[in-house]
């Protein structure tokens, strides 16, 4: 029997099958989640289809419902945060921040409007361009920010008038199931359905005929499968995929001033952020000082069980990801890489790996070329800024990037040359609800957040009214 229930048609639903959820701080299964059957997915889709027309008619009611969702999350924060920490690994304070972020995103989204453009209005014709919802949105999320990334989809999809069937990662299903339970009172039945299961359930969603729009966040490899599954039915899609963000530190940056921010830009959430710094390019003149300052920050960080007060970084979320980080760092060592800090797992049963800085590596080494999605940062040097930009852009990833300098103007000019969806100056990971977030090249199609993200859950409708 599962400890958590799915939300289908506004009801709490269990299932015949369950699967274990591991606490990454111990490596042990600590709870069971429902394994949604194909028949249950059909019931969820049916509920979403039936809820669509009444829900799509009244935007004022939808705004009120979104505000109620924000309040419901805030009211139940104390219950939700430990669930998120236990299944994801992040420190409890960070789990609370993620949940507060989810509430903020609901509130912000409720303040947006669906634009109606009037192209002509005279005694003969009124010509309008409106935005219509798609119908049922299939939302699929990864395990690094399970609640926040689900809300990035749920809030704008609902405001636009769609209904939603959401599926979290099998590594972190519980906080999304709990979110569904918390939001049952705030939303009419069928408007938000939460189902849990394996990757196969994701494939059933992307090929389900009821789904008209897929909103997917995850890896590039899965994103390509999602795109292929959407094609035969011409489903619309937004894909938020992986990244291999470069940060470029210019020769005039102050190493001590930038080190702390660079560190957290790379290692927040134990490096498991799509748009974390994953390659650091430092001008050769200041590289020794930057490496020293970064190592100082890394040595002072406490890695531990997220439920323990004082832990700043939790474990990696799951065994395959843990193995992958070990493999990539070992490969870098074999390729001549020098380990400045960290470099081996911490042991103790959980998936703990310390913040690891690696120098003496270059393009062609897997840790540089691939998305590590963990606490291991390759540090590369350059002499000429053009060369750094070319190397930063020399990848099929294009999520975000940053440039660091004593002169924000100079850095902004370089940042504009980065082939990516978000370019930061003297900061990294500053993600806000009102600006678009998305990837260039293989890092995605479409954007989330802000009015642009909202419009991604709508299609245009021209309404041409003959008056005479």
Q: Looking at the annotation, which residues are catalytic?
A: 240, 274
Distance CA 240, CA 275 (A): 11
Number of neighbouring beta carbons within 10 Å of residue 11: 14
C-alpha distances (whole Å) from 248 to each of 2, 181, 281, 431 are 47, 44, 5, 19
* Residue 143 binds ligand NAD, judged by CB under 6 A: yes
194 binds ligand NAD (CB under 6 A): no
Site string (86-125) toward ligand NAD, x via CB under 6 A: ----------------------------------------
Nearer CB in complex with ligand NAD: 46/199: 199
Cβ proximity to ligand NAD: between 202 and 433 the closer is: 202
Tell me which stretch binds ligand NAD (CB under 6 A): 27-35, 81-89, 217-225, 422-430: 217-225
The residue nearest ligand NAD at its CB is 202
Question: Under rule CB under 6 A, which residues in 367-396 are in contact with ligand NAD?
Answer: 371, 373
- Contacting range for ligand NAD; rule: CB under 6 A; set: 79-87, 98-106, 201-209, 255-263: 201-209
Among 5, 15, 18, 206, binds ligand NAD (CB under 6 A): 206
The residue within the footprint of ligand NAD, chosen from 101, 202, 342, 343 (CB under 6 A), is 202
Beta carbon of residue 353, minimum distance to ligand NAD (angstroms, whole number): 16
Q: Which of 15, 141, 238, 458 binds ligand NAD (CB under 6 A)?
A: 141
Instruction: For residue 20, count CB atoms less than 10 angstroms from its CB and return exposed for 0-12, middle for 13-18, buried for 19 or more.
Output: exposed
Exactly one of 107, 196, 217, 356 binds ligand NAD (CB under 6 A); that residue is 217
Interactions with ligand NAD, residue window 166-185 (CB under 6 A): 167, 169-170
State which of residues 439, 446, 450, 456 lies at the interface with ligand NAD (CB under 6 A): 439
Among 144, 381, 402, 422, binds ligand NAD (CB under 6 A): 144
Which residue number, 134 or 143, has a Cβ lying nearer to ligand NAD?
143
Q: State the Cα–Cα distance between residues 37 and 10, nearest whole angstrom.
A: 18
**Options 11, 37, 219, 427; binder of ligand NAD; rule CB under 6 A:** 219
Pairing of strands 236-240, 444-445: antiparallel
Subset of 239-258 contacting ligand NAD (CB under 6 A): 240-243
Residue 399 interacts with ligand NAD (CB under 6 A): yes or no:
yes
Residue with tokens 């193995």: 323
Under rule CB under 6 A, how many of the chain's residues touch ligand NAD? 29
Sequence-separated (6 or more) residues with CB below 8 Å from residue 23: 29, 30, 86, 87, 89, 350
Q: Footprint of ligand NAD on this chain (CB under 6 A)? A: 140-144, 149, 167, 169-170, 199, 202-203, 206, 217-219, 222, 225-226, 240-243, 274, 371, 373, 399, 439, 444
């Amino acid at each position: 029997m599962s400890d958590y229930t799915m939300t289908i048609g506004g009801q709490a639903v269990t299932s015949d099958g369950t699967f274990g959820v591991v606490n990454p701080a111990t490596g042990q299964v600590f709870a069971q989640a429902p394994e949604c059957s194909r028949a249950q997915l059909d019931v969820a889709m049916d509920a979403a289809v039936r809820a669509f027309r009444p829900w799509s008619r009244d935007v004022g009611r939808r705004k009120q419902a979104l505000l109620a969702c924000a309040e419901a999350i805030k009211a139940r924060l104390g219950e939700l945060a430990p669930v998120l920490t236990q299944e994801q690994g992040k420190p409890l304070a960070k789990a609370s921040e993620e949940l507060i972020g989810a509430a903020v995103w609901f509130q912000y989204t409720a303040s947006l409007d669906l634009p109606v453009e009037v192209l002509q209005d005279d005694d003969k014709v009124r010509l309008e361009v409106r935005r219509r919802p798609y119908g049922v949105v299939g939302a699929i999320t990864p395990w690094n920010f399970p609640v926040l990334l689900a809300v990035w989809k749920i809030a704008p999809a609902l405001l636009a008038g769609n209904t939603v069937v959401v599926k979290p990662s099998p590594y972190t299903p519980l906080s999304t199931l709990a979110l569904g339970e918390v939001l049952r009172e705030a939303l009419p039945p069928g408007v938000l359905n939460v189902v849990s299961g394996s990757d196969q359930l994701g494939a059933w969603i992307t090929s389900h005929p009821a789904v008209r729009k897929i909103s997917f966040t995850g890896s590039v490899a899965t994103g390509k499968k999602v795109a292929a599954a959407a094609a035969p039915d011409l489903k619309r899609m937004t894909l938020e995929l992986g990244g291999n963000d470069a940060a470029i530190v210019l020769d005039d940056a102050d190493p001590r001033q930038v080190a702390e921010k660079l560190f957290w830009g790379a290692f927040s959430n134990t490096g498991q952020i799509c748009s974390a710094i994953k390659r650091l390019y430092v001008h050769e003149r200041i590289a020794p000082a930057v490496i020293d300052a970064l190592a100082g920050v890394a040595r002072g960080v406490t890695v531990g069980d997220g439920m323990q007060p004082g832990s700043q970084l939790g474990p990696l979320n799951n065994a395959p990801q843990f193995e992958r980080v070990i493999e990539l760092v070992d490969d870098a060592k074999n390729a001549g890489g020098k380990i400045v800090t960290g470099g081996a797992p911490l042991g103790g049963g959980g998936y703990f790996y310390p913040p690891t800085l690696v120098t003496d590596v270059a393009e062609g080494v897997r840790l540089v070329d691939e998305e590590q999605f963990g606490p291991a940062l390759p540090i590369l040097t350059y002499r000429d800024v053009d060369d750094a930009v070319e190397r930063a852009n020399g990848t099929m990833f294009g999520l975000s990037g940053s440039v660091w300098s004593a002169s924000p103007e100079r850095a902004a000019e370089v940042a504009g040359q980065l082939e990516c969806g978000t370019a930061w100056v003297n900061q990294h990971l500053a993600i806000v609800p009102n600006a678009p977030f998305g990837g260039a090249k293989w890092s995605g199609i479409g954007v989330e957040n802000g009015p642009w993200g909202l419009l991604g859950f709508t299609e245009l409708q021209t309404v041409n009214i003959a008056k005479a």
